[in-house]
Amino acid sequence: MPRGRRGCWTCRIRHRRCDESSPECKECSTRSITCHGYDLDPPAWMSNDQLLQEELRRIKVAVKENFRRVKTIQNRQLARSTAQAAQVSRTKATSRPQSEITGNPTQAGSSTTNTIFREAQYLVHYLDYIFPIQYAFYVDAPDQGGRGWLFFLLERNAPLRNAALTLSAFHQHTFSPYHTENQEDELLQYHTKALQELRHVVRHRDVGASADNIEEWLKFLAGGMFLISFEVFQGGTNNWQAHFNALVSVIQNLTSSDFDFDTSNPTSPDFDFQRGMNTAQKFILSNLVWIDVLAPLATGTAPRLPYHDWLNAGKIDMSRVMGCSNCIMIAIGDMMALDSEAITLDNEALRIAIDELEERIHNGIEAALDDGSTVCVILRD
């Protein structure tokens, strides 16, 4: 709503619109910060610049903490709801003939037009709501075509599209005020079909056919990435590892020079497509590096992808996808690698390795700061 003539003093110093609700405005209550009210006289601390700056800092800290808390709750709710819905789907699948659950995911009694419309709704829901939850720190690049690459891949590849439809259906089903048997059947069909197709993509990749076809290559990488997310959202602890192993076996020997991220020719008739596929490749590889670097927490093994080569080359910017700079990701990967081999080192060798790691981390952060790179994401209020 338009800002009132006054507004609370908190909104005034933050330059925010205020709905002037009582006893505290919506802007302040939503962000869990102190609403300093609507008195004609300003709070005493406003007349002291130092106290004013301290209050602004306290407010910013509170806003950031609230943002993190809300995001954490949203992610947990999505993971919990999809896991619960997946469990229902698996239970129902055991009691129904296979022929009933492998066809097109359509609601019983629904028209073809209605089904097409619902799928369009689900795709937009995925782009607008699910994707931002999955990738809260993703920085879009309108000058590079935005997320057109994502919509293109979802439209062109049935496995990816059905995976996105499933996540959207789970999400809407969870928050819907009513549930019907038809909706549950639809969830089951989407879920079963998506899993079957994604597993087929990963297990039956035609190396020869996709070697010179970037769309097929990205279909394989994105299929594996979606499948890992799918298994994790279902609450599985080990199933995702087999799919990740399949991806690693294909890409672990690639170097940064094997990825032509910057070959787009503005005069080429395929310029938009090539640029979009380059953006997609950067996004997917950033995801796989993220998984590889953090996977040791579950597997106890060292990262297997050549993350040093990929990230030091600067062709992948992790801060735009995961909110963490390349030098920090390298540091985390090195710590995971050292942790996995620590048991084989004696105390002296381990101490030396830790000292060397600390020095590399320090030098990496210093170099990033000197270069003006983003080391970590700054959450804005």
| Nearest-angstrom CA–CA distance, 27 and 21 | 9
Residues 6+ apart with CB under 8 A from 76: none
Lowest mean pLDDT among 95-109, 144-158, 161-175: 95-109
Q: Average pLDDT of 101-116?
A: 59
Of residues 334 and 190, more confidently modeled: 334
Report the pLDDT value the prediction gives residue 369, as an integer from 0 to 100.
Answer: 67
Of residues 90 and 265, more confidently modeled: 265
Model confidence at 154: pLDDT above 80: yes
Q: How many CB atoms lie within 10 A of CB 168?
A: 24
Of residues 208 and 248, more confidently modeled: 248
pLDDT digits (tens, 9 = 90+) for 290-302: 989 988 887 888 8
Burial 84-118 (b: 16+ CB within 10 A, else e): ebbebbeebbeeeeeeebeeebbbeeeeeeeeeeb
Confidence of residue 99 (pLDDT cuts 50, 70, 90): very low
Of residues 375 and 40, more confidently modeled: 40
Structural contact between residues 115 and 183, judged by C-beta atoms closer than 8 angstroms: no
**pTM > 0.75:** no
Report the pLDDT value the prediction gives residue 252, as an integer from 0 to 100.
Answer: 82
Lowest mean pLDDT among 112-116, 129-133, 179-183: 179-183
Both structure tokens of 60: 């910013």
Structural contact between residues 291 and 251, judged by C-beta atoms closer than 8 angstroms: no
Q: Average pLDDT of 203-213?
A: 55
Confidence of residue 372 (pLDDT cuts 50, 70, 90): low
Report the pLDDT value the prediction gives residue 32, as an integer from 0 to 100.
Answer: 86
| Nearest-angstrom CA–CA distance, 271 and 190 | 34
Report the pLDDT value the prediction gives residue 371, as an integer from 0 to 100.
Answer: 57
Report the pLDDT value the prediction gives residue 380, as an integer from 0 to 100.
Answer: 38
Of residues 27 and 102, more confidently modeled: 27
| Nearest-angstrom CA–CA distance, 322 and 288 | 11
Residues 6+ apart with CB under 8 A from 131: 138, 147, 150
